[in-house]
Structure 1
Amino acid sequence: MPEPLPPALLIGGGGLLFGAGTLAELGRGARERGLRRVLLIGVRAVADVGLLERAEQALGAAGVVHATLLAADGEPTDAAIGELVAAARGGDFEGIVALGGGSVIDTAKVVGLLLGAGGSTLDYVNAPFGRGAAPPRPPLPLIAVPTTAGSGSEVSAVAVLDLVADDVKTAISHPLLRPALAIADPATTVTLPPAPTAAAGLDVLAHALESLTALPYARRTLAPGAPRPAYSGANPYSDALCEQALPLLARGLPRAVRDGGSLDARTDVMLAATLAGLGAAVAGAHAGHACAYGVASRRLTTAGAAGRPVAHGFAAALMLAPLLRRTHASDPARHERAARLLDVDGPAAEAPDHPREPSSELLPARVAALIAAVGAPSGLRELGFDERDVVPMAELALRQERLMAGAPMPLGREQLAAMLAEAL
């Protein structure tokens, strides 16, 4: 019988260009990867601020032929992705360019997967919602240009989507989904309004803290013959990246929300998003994100596609304090170090009649402070949820097996329900 594979990291990735003005290198990046005819997928919001035109000019200047399709607003659904695939068939494309936030990049990943590998979306969606099959052929190469600083999709091997028939938010995860090139240009984010800036930035916070507190990679086991998962657990590589992201985010995000035109602040937040995205792409998020998916899925179930969407970054951030109170015992020193990294102004002087907070509350307090500093909702109740939603959301979260596998301790329905109740 084959022996189980030893603990190891699955670290992969394409190229990365970072810096203000790098959008202009899009065409050269495509040509360097042998792409002469590409499908450019954008969204109306990036067209309205002129970014889509700039991308088309950069492609044209390098002699790259392109066709442009606009993705639907909001998070990708399997139905909307199917419409884009149908529109793109016969285009003889050699690659795809995604210009937009994480939803656009995730859409482009699945479009490229279906055009390159064939099959249906459910063939590749993670179990238990889909078959979780490996692509029989590679997807079309993808160049990802994020116009928000948050999701990290430009450097990850995951595409998140909503399954319309099942009213559930889930994902496709496979190393072949990682983009061939990411172009992270902070200047593309300066027109992003305050609320989506805050939501995207808080998703970065969730990526960094969940990666730092995930089950360590050396404790994860892999059955004989099983492929290595895209997420390996907390490890020295991801720790270094995520720890560097925290002070950048704590310093830059409040300023980017207050003064969207500050390129310095936007650069700090984009760099934090890139670092945390690279770290999370290896370590993986865990139970907090699973609960955020449960929140989003509950909204689909109760309100349908026409319901008010839940900003993923807000939901993920609101799950952090309840989660971190529970993960603290797994590694108190790690949690306290993360709290210090988020406290960019240094510890406030303590009055004699105000004793030091319990160590398990240090990191939740810093998370709450950052949420407040960017004007984000302070609880799920502000997003339209109440006690009746808690258990259904916990049950939906528990089904996110890919994410729950990374939690540093077992968390069942009762524990997840308690976390969601605290997040109200």
Structure 2
Amino acid sequence: MTLTANWSYPTAIRFGAGRISEIAEACAAAGITKPLLVTDKGLADLPITQNTLELLTAAGLGRAMFSDVDPNPTEKNAEEGVRMYRDGGHDGVVAFGGGSGLDLGKVIAFMAGQTRPLWDFEDIGDWWTRADADAIAPIVAVPTTAGTGSEVGRASVITNSETHEKKIIFHPKILPSVVICDPELTVGMPPAITAGTGMDAFAHCLEAYCSPHYHPMSQGIALEGMKLVKDNLLTAYEDGINLEARAHMMSAAAMGATAFQKGLGAIHALSHPIGAVHHTHHGTTNAVVMQQVLMFNRPKVRKHLARAANYLSIAGGFDGFHAFVGELNAKLNIPKNLTELGVKDPQIDQLVASALQDPSVGGNPVKMTVKNTTELLETCF
């Protein structure tokens, strides 16, 4: 089967190996003539990034890059990027990389034309309507990992550098105009990053599937996304140059981020503050707390996940699904608990307070309280 296609849901997606060669066409389709490529420090000098800059240069689109992006990007990174964008007279952003590069690139395009501070656009109520929608610059997104799915998302996660809280910045027009999903760009991912990002995609699909909110389209996407991860993540982890597995994981990542319009839950409510305070890898943190959250939600999701397990060809209903997650984590060499992940001297009360403020809380099947969230977090160590 040839894994190449053009999709228009939820935005224009050019999917297939080698399609980074279409980056100039993608910019033209988005109306960008002078892009700023935004990526992270680790990717800046790699061949995939330099090749993309060469393609932009050859097309007469310049060679501007901003890469001062932290693993958990902050408002300070955003301010510096906006400054470079404005000083360079750019008219759009190529957001290139994993979650950090994609999220920051989207925020730079969003903030470049705004006059209010970033935190005025946090995902609370209708705060997004405060933005001048006409001043949001167009975005072309190019993922180089298969996890966050930020390339098809209408939000970015930015860490407040003063409070060490992860905040979600939302606006419908943060959704990139054009996406290039080229699995060849993910071939160089180290196994540990392949594992962590892949489990992030799985967490998105799992939590969307379990969310009590009504969204049948997301429900179906989440279920098939879980199947793609089950069938392909271990192959991508063990055989990094397997393009078919890499392509299916790239699809699963985009599907997870599309599906979680239905909601996320306790996995993300816990991992956001843990990552913000202790600087852990987001997807890996999701994987570490996943089994404990499944048990926490068991009374509400047992029958629901038994149906999913049946579709995924996992025997044993809910308990079989729970065991499958543990076995997959072990095969991917995911740390067994947060202690092993490197979370030292956790301020449990502080993490719980932040978790209960996280927007993901509203999508958890079991209502999260100070008492039960404290007990849940303690089981993760």
So what's the TM-score if we normalise by structure 2?
A: 0.91
Deviations 1:341-382 (A, max 9, x none): 455xx54xxxxxxxx6xx543322121111111111111111
2:135 is the counterpart of 1:177: no
Select the residue among 61, 64, 67 that pairs with 1:64. Answer: 61
Per the alignment, do residues 297 and 131 of structure 1 end up closer, same or farther by CA in structure 2, a change over 3 Å counting?
A: farther
Q: 1:169 to 1:74 in 2, by over 3 A?
A: same
CA separation of 1:388 and 1:183: change in aligned 2, threshold 3 A: closer
The Cα offsets for residues 307-342 of structure 1, whole Å up to 9 and x where unpaired, read as xx3010111122222222233333433211333445
1:287 matched to 2:266? yes
Partner of 1:111: 108
Q: Name the structure with the higher helix share.
A: 2
String of CA shifts for 1:28-75, please: whole Å, max 9, x gaps.
Answer: 011122221111112333233311222123323444345222132412
The residue correspondences of 1:14-413 to structure 2 (distance < 5 A) are 14-127=11-124, 134-138=130-134, 139-217=136-214, 235-280=215-260, 282-299=261-278, 309-343=279-313, 347=315, 359-385=317-343, 388-400=346-358, 402-413=359-370
Question: Which residue in 2 is equivalent to 1:419?
Answer: 376
- Contact kept? 1:75, 1:162, Cα under 8 Å: yes
Residue 259 of structure 1, CA deviation: 1.8
In structure 2, the residue corresponding to 1:84 is in which secondary structure?
helix
How many residues matched? 373
Q: CA RMSD in A?
A: 2.3
Shift of 1:104: 0.4
Q: Distance in 1 between matches of 2:11 and 2:55?
A: 20
Q: Against the structure 1 CA distance between its residues 340 and 144, is the aligned structure 2 distance closer, same or farther, given a 3 Å change threshold?
A: same
Amino acid at match of 2:75: D
Q: Unmatched 5+ residue regions in structure 1?
A: 1-10, 218-234, 300-308, 348-355
Contact 2:29 2:178 in 1 (8 A): no
Q: Would the aligned equivalents of 2:103 and 2:150 in 1 still touch at CA under 8 Å?
A: yes
Partners in 2 of 1:284 and 1:108 — Cα distance? 24
For residues 116-155 of structure 1, what are the alpha-carbon distances to aligned partners after superposition, in whole Å with 9 as ceiling and x for unaligned?
3332212212459x97663123421111100010001000
Gap change, CA 1:265 and 1:384, over 3 Å in 2: same
Evaluate the alpha carbon distance shift between residue 316 and residue 134 of structure 1 in structure 2; reply closer, same or farther with a 3 A threshold.
Answer: farther
In the TM superposition, residue 90 of structure 1 has moved relative to its aligned partner by 3.1
Q: Secondary structure at the match of 2:188?
A: coil
Q: For 1:134, give the aligned amino acid.
A: R
Q: How far, CA to CA, are the matches of 2:311 and 2:318 in structure 1?
A: 15
2:172 and 2:26 map into 1 onto residues whose CA distance is 21
Task: Determine if contact 1:31/1:64 at 8 Å carries over to the other structure.
Answer: no
Instruction: Give the partner amino acid of 2:321.
Output: L
* 1:146-190 CA distance string (max 9 Å, x none): 001000100011100110111212211221211111111111010
In structure 1, what is the Cα distance between the partners aligned to 2:98 and 2:370? 32
Q: Which shifted more, 83-92 or 284-293? A: 83-92
- CA–CA separation in structure 1 for the residues paired with 2:368 and 2:355: 10
User: Residues 241 and 258 (structure 1 numbering): CA distance in 2 closer, same or farther, change over 3 Å?
Assistant: same
TM-score (norm 1): 0.82
Alignment-derived partner of residue 3 in structure 2: none
Please tell me whether the aligned partners of residues 17 and 182 of structure 1 are also in contact (alpha carbons under 8 angstroms).
Answer: yes
SS in 2 for 1:310: coil
- Paired residue secondary structure (1:89): helix
Secondary structure of the structure 2 residue equivalent to 1:319: helix
Question: What CA distance in whole angstroms lies between the structure 2 residues aligned with 1:380 and 1:196?
Answer: 17
Partners of 1:41 and 1:14 in 2: CA distance: 20
Q: Shift of the alpha carbon at 1:291?
A: 0.8
The 2-side partners of 1:331 and 1:117 are apart by 42
Q: Any stretches of 5+ residues in structure 2 without a counterpart? A: 1-7
Quick one: percent identity of the two aligned structures?
A: 29
- Check the 8 A contact 1:339/1:366 in 2, yes or no: no
Secondary structure class of the residue paired with 1:245: helix
What SS does structure 2 have at the residue aligned with 1:119? coil
Structure 1 residues 212 and 261: CA distance shift in structure 2, 3 A: same
SS of aligned partner of 1:162: strand
The offset of 1:114, in angstroms, is 1.1
Asked if the contact 2:54–2:63 (Cα under 8 Å) also holds between the matched residues in 1, the reply is no
